[in-house]
């Protein structure tokens, strides 16, 4: 009898915790503001070497983990701690993903990102 009641109690606790976790996904924090540089439709990966800080390769991916654009950066040290670089990376990611969805992918190394960074 004790084993049955213990199993029932554990099952009830797991069920209630699961319901609570699912309820948290849709809840938004009041007063929270949207981060302007945070991408919604993909992500980027920056490859760089410690001994060559002014050389990097930036890969842009959509949410399906498909590479949609790649650009080699020379002559600029990408510091992703700076907001201007993060915003420019987001703008370039949006351009690349939009071109990919229109079935007109951007050709690699067209220097769109470098042009935006040097503004």
User: Where are the chain's structural domains?
Assistant: 42-117
**Rounded distance between C-alpha atoms, residue 53 and residue 62, angstroms:** 26
Confidence (pTM): 0.64
Average pLDDT estimate for 18-24: 49
> How many Cβ atoms are within 10 Å of 2's Cβ, its own excluded?
6
- What is the enclosing helix (H) or strand (E) of 61? strand 52-62
pLDDT digits 0-9 by tens, 42-84? 888 989 888 888 888 889 999 999 999 888 888 888 888 888 8
**Structure confidence at residue 26 as a pLDDT band (50, 70, 90):** very low
Q: Residue 3: what pLDDT?
A: 67
pLDDT digits 0-9 by tens, 2-19? 666 777 777 766 665 655
The total number of residues written for the chain in this structure: 119
pLDDT digits 0-9 by tens, 56-67? 888 999 999 999
**Rounded distance between C-alpha atoms, residue 65 and residue 41, angstroms:** 11
**Rounded distance between C-alpha atoms, residue 67 and residue 100, angstroms:** 10
Q: Residue 81: what pLDDT?
A: 86
**Rounded distance between C-alpha atoms, residue 35 and residue 98, angstroms:** 20
């Amino acid at each position: 009898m004790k084993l049955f009641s213990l199993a029932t109690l554990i099952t009830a606790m797991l069920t209630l915790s699961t319901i609570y976790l699912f309820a948290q996904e849709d809840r938004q924090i009041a007063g929270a503001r949207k981060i302007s540089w945070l991408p919604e439709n993909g992500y980027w990966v920056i490859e760089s070497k410690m001994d060559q800080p002014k050389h990097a390769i930036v890969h842009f991916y959509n949410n399906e983990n498909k590479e949609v654009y790649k650009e080699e950066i020379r002559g600029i040290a990408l510091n992703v701690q700076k907001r201007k670089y993060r915003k420019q990376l987001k703008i370039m990611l949006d351009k690349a993903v939009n071109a990919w969805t229109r079935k007109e992918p951007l050709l690699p190394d067209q220097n769109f990102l470098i042009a935006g960074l040097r503004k």
